[in-house]
């Protein structure tokens, strides 16, 4: 993804004021089922958002990792049919959960520091699902420095319902004027990047037509 404005410019730190000290990071996970306590986390993608000199949000960088199922994890065949993941494929280059989370968290922590934010906030489409799996993995791995707020999140299904009258990701994107490729869907990278496009579009449209909240 393009990065027209590197972190370090003064305007890059304005994002810390836009969301009350939170750094918005879009997350999508692919899993072996719907139960975060018992089902495997198989892939995670995180898109860091930045703010340009005009105060507009844009997707800046995507970080992703395939994840090895934790010991005893349940994997539902129907889930694999949906996401197309073969957990045993030799080219997946999956990492154990703790290593995968550290790989994803490292650049997010760095972005939090460089933008003057206090913490990252998870953005997702039906964000409770992604946050639930993320928190469950963090707990299993005993990670103490989770950059994400443990329960606050921004849900693009809710925001898209307000902005466009659509709650399904594909329909919301089309309503917003964005493209959607059904064949590429259910990849954590594709879904995270399209969710980032949706979120940025909603926020930028709000700021342009309603106004940026004070203080900013």
Which tens digit of pLDDT belongs to each residue from 89-137?
989 999 999 999 999 999 999 999 999 999 999 999 999 999 999 999 9
pLDDT at 85 over 80: yes
214 labelled as ligand-binding? no
pLDDT at position 216 is 58
Nearest 5°: phi and psi at 176? -85, -10
* pTM exceeds cut of 0.85: yes
Is 186 considered catalytic here?
yes
186 labelled as ligand-binding? yes
Report the topology of domain 13-210: Nucleotidyltransferase; domain 5 (3.30.420)
pLDDT at 2 over 70: no
pLDDT band at 4 (very low <50, low <70, confident <90, very high): very low
pLDDT in tens, 108-120: 999 999 999 999 9
Catalytic residue, candidates 63, 125, 149, 186: 186
pLDDT at 7 over 90: no
Parse the chain into domains and list their residue ranges.
13-210
pLDDT at position 189 is 97
Taking CA atoms, 186 is separated from 82, 89, 103, in Å, by 7, 17, 21
Cα 17 to Cα 213: distance, rounded to the nearest angstrom = 9
- Under a CB-based contact definition with an 8 Å cutoff, are residues 68 and 94 in contact? yes
Q: Where are the beta strands (DSSP E) in the chain?
A: 22-31, 41-51, 57-66, 119-124, 148-155
pLDDT band at 214 (very low <50, low <70, confident <90, very high): confident
207 labelled as ligand-binding? no
Cα 215 to Cα 134: distance, rounded to the nearest angstrom = 31
98 labelled as ligand-binding? no
pLDDT at position 5 is 45
């Amino acid at each position: 993804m393009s990065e027209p404005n590197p972190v370090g410019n003064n305007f890059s730190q304005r994002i810390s004021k836009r969301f009350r000290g939170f750094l918005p990071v879009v997350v999508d996970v692919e899993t072996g089922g719907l139960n975060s306590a018992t089902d495997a986390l198989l892939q995670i993608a995180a898109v860091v958002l930045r703010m340009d000199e005009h105060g507009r949000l844009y997707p800046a960088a995507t970080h992703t990792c395939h994840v090895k199922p934790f010991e005893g994890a349940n994997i539902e065949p129907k889930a694999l049919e949906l996401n197309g993941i073969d957990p045993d494929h030799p080219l997946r280059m999956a990492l154990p959960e703790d290593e995968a989370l550290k790989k994803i968290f490292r650049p997010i922590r760095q972005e939090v520091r460089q933008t003057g934010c206090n913490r990252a906030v998870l953005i997702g489409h039906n964000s409770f699902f992604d946050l639930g799996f993320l928190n469950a993995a963090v707990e299993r791995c005993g990670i103490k420095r989770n950059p994400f707020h443990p329960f606050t999140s921004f849900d693009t299904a809710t925001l898209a319902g307000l902005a466009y009258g659509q709650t399904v990701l594909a329909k919301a994107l089309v309503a917003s004027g964005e493209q959607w490729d059904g064949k590429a869907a259910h990849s954590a990278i594709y879904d995270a990047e399209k969710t980032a496009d949706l979120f940025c579009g909603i926020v930028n449209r709000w700021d342009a037509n309603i106004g940026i909240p004070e203080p900013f």
